[in-house]
Amino acid sequence: MNEIPNLSSDIAQLITQNFAKLTDADTRLLKVLTSDPIRGAFENSTEVSSRAGVHPASAVRLARRLGFKGYPEFRTFMQNSLMEGQSEFADPNARIAARIARAGDGGLLSSLIDSEISALEHLRDNVTDAQIRTFATTLLKAQRIFTSGTSHGTALAKLIAMRLRRSGFDAVDLGNAGQQQVEWVYSMTERDVLFLSCFRGTAPQLAHLTTLASERGAACLLLTDVQEDHLIAPQNTQICVSRGGAGESQSLVVPMTIANTIILDLASIDGGKTMRALNAFKRVREAHNRPPA
């Protein structure tokens, strides 16, 4: 093979293309690499050869037989495969390994900052003020608001409920409700809203809650990073935006920014309700924290 393989190629395809050239030592090395690709993508040629029980130079020869100039280039290929693989989001080990690989010698902090900036710029270009206003208007009309989430969205759902309560709205976080989630949602009416924060896909339980809320005539607001067909329904309004590509930090700043913007926009259209509620809450909190006379 004369050309350097495309870094987005699948490693299995690369092996298949060069199978006729492979020696017994190559086979042993590939077995070690493919049995634990995350570990293999970060070890040097000596470490991989030692685990395979072959001569230290065998890993270098394998890399060259596969079309690379040397083992470091082959290792870069494997690291990029982690970052670009379809299973990156599903495997937490692969996610961490891919982010470390992407950071390279530039430093993790710098890499994460760059990733956050990129995700926020993507947010600027893909979410509109009109979408934010639709969420805010729906919340303004709600009699009760129920929040829940998946993955890190559970923490965001809890924060959204707290912010809405302090703004004078009747909001309940269902994150710790367990089986009572169904009871709460079953009690919903057409005047209520279900606000879900779903990252890396919707859990079956939350998908069921959206269906149940729809049956009760309630509106459903969805803040997601994955577009899922089963969430598309007349009662569902969705903001779907990437939190970062494969190998990048899956930004929590992006959904937090959206949530904060929705709550700020709500304050701008609620006729002073948020301001009055925050002032009242401030007085109550100060009285609660005041030492006894």
Q: How far is residue 215 from each of residues 13, 135, 190, 218, 237, measured CA to CA in Å?
A: 48, 20, 9, 8, 15
Are 250 and 141 part of one and the same domain?
Answer: yes
Are 189 and 280 part of one and the same domain?
Answer: yes
Q: What residues pair up with 239 in beta bridges, in sequence order?
A: 223
Domain that holds residue 246: 119-289
CATH code, domain with 26: 1.10.10.10
pLDDT of residue 246: 56
| Residue 156, in any domain of the structure | yes
| Residue 106, in any domain of the structure | no
Are 215 and 125 part of one and the same domain?
Answer: yes
CA 87 to chain centre: 13
| Residue 182, in any domain of the structure | yes
Alpha carbons 44 and 59: distance in angstroms, whole number: 9
- Secondary structure class of 193 (helix, strand, coil): strand
Are 123 and 77 part of one and the same domain?
Answer: no
Q: What is the reported pTM?
A: 0.67
Q: Which of 31, 60, 84 is the last residue of a domain?
A: 84
pLDDT of residue 293: 65
| Residue 96, in any domain of the structure | no
Alpha carbons 92 and 88: distance in angstroms, whole number: 8
In the chain (293 residues long), the average pLDDT of successive 10-residue segments reads 41 75 89 79 87 92 89 82 53 57 64 82 92 97 94 91 96 84 90 91 76 91 81 81 70 92 97 95 86 74
Alpha carbons 29 and 53: distance in angstroms, whole number: 8
Are 72 and 130 part of one and the same domain?
Answer: no
Structure tokens belonging to residue 93: 């080990």
Are 65 and 157 part of one and the same domain?
Answer: no
pLDDT of residue 197: 92
CB 191 within 8 A of CB 201: no
Are 80 and 150 part of one and the same domain?
Answer: no
pLDDT of residue 88: 43
Q: Which of 38, 60, 84 is the last residue of a domain?
A: 84
Structure tokens belonging to residue 166: 């302090």
Backbone phi and psi for residue 219, each to the nearest 5 degrees, phi listed first: -80, 150
Q: Mark 127-159 as b/e (b = at least 16 C-beta within 10 Å).
A: beeebbbbbbebbeebebbbbbbbebbbebbbb
- Secondary structure class of 225 (helix, strand, coil): coil
Are 131 and 263 part of one and the same domain?
Answer: yes
Are 130 and 263 part of one and the same domain?
Answer: yes
Look-up of token digits 């909190």:
285
Total domains, the chain = 2
Are 258 and 193 part of one and the same domain?
Answer: yes
CATH code, domain with 165: 3.40.50.10490
Structure tokens belonging to residue 36: 């634990």
| Residue 247, in any domain of the structure | yes
Structure tokens belonging to residue 52: 């395979």
| Residue 126, in any domain of the structure | yes
Q: How far is residue 164 from each of residues 63, 187, 281, measured CA to CA in Å?
A: 57, 20, 12
| Residue 223, in any domain of the structure | yes
Are 196 and 242 part of one and the same domain?
Answer: yes
pLDDT of residue 86: 44
- Taking the C-alpha atoms of 175, 206, 219 and 172 in order, what is their torsion angle to the nearest 10 degrees? -10
| Residue 68, in any domain of the structure | yes
CB 245 within 8 A of CB 122: no
